[in-house]
Structure 1
């Protein structure tokens, strides 16, 4: 059975997820640089304190929020890496028509981990649906023109 559509969709999705993961690592590096640099932190504190409505407790709450965001970003990066791994497992399972249902399950889990409605996850959902719905064609008995057709009196040309 020809599974080219599933292969193409899953390969595009794995490339998009890998690029997204690389950009997430770069973004996380910049975020950590800004968060951990004392000069930048002091400048941000000065800007926050210039606002008369901000208190030192509010400024500390903002920096605590930055720490929480940093942890959440690591969680997203780990989920994206797991998505890439499951996507590659699905590609290997579908490559030679080994196990299309297992590949479909892997594609769905990878799509959820890549982001529920991201473009790469939508491609993975489509590939999973194709894995579940495509069935191999049935082998029908080939009838020749010289053989009688179930009571038909006419022969095909």
Structure 2
């Protein structure tokens, strides 16, 4: 039985995952560089100081909030990149397990786990869920062994 559909869906989702890893890494690196830029920080401080509704303590709290946001942005960004890398690894394991119909149940489990790490309702995860359903539902055709029936010889 050919598992071409599952393999194609797995490869397409792998390409999407690799693209997401690259884009998210660039986004986090760029965001980190932007938040480390002294010019940007001084412009944010200048904008806060120009706000007439903020007093001294409020300005300090807002700047602490901006610093906390940058730290959270970096941690969550790299955490998402790690989750995507785990998704890619599980996806590759699933593809290898489904090639030549070796172990489609393991492949289905790996595709579901990869879909969860890729984001619960992203395009990549939906493709992986479809591949997993195909792994579980499609069964190889039943082959009946040719049995010959020999009637016992009757002797009289």
Q: Who is 1:146 aligned against? A: none
Residue among 59, 67, 82 paired with 2:86: 82
Taking only aligned residues, the RMSD between alpha carbons, in angstroms, comes to 1.4
Paired residue secondary structure (1:96): helix
Deviation of 1:137 (Å)? 0.8
Where do 5+ consecutive residues of structure 1 fail to align? Answer: 143-157
* CA displacement 1:77-110 (0-9 Å, x = unmatched): 1000000011001101111211000000000000
Where do 5+ consecutive residues of structure 2 fail to align? Answer: 147-156
Instruction: Please say if 1:118 is aligned against 2:110.
Output: no
Larger displacement relative to structure 2 (113-122 or 48-57): 48-57
- Separation (CA, whole Å) in 1 of partners of 2:53 and 2:99: 61
Instruction: Please say if 1:63 is aligned against 2:77.
Output: no
Larger displacement relative to structure 2 (44-53 or 18-27): 44-53
Deviation of 1:119 (Å)? 0.1
Deviation of 1:140 (Å)? 4.7
Q: Who is 1:136 aligned against? A: 140
* CA displacement 1:51-83 (0-9 Å, x = unmatched): 223422122212212211211111101000000
Deviation of 1:48 (Å)? 2.6
Paired residue secondary structure (2:121): coil
- Note closer, same or farther for the CA distance 1:141–1:92 as it changes in structure 2 (3 Å cut): closer
| Runs of 4+ residues deviating >4 angstroms | none
TM-score (norm 1): 0.85
Q: Who is 1:13 aligned against? A: 13
- Separation (CA, whole Å) in 1 of partners of 2:125 and 2:46: 42
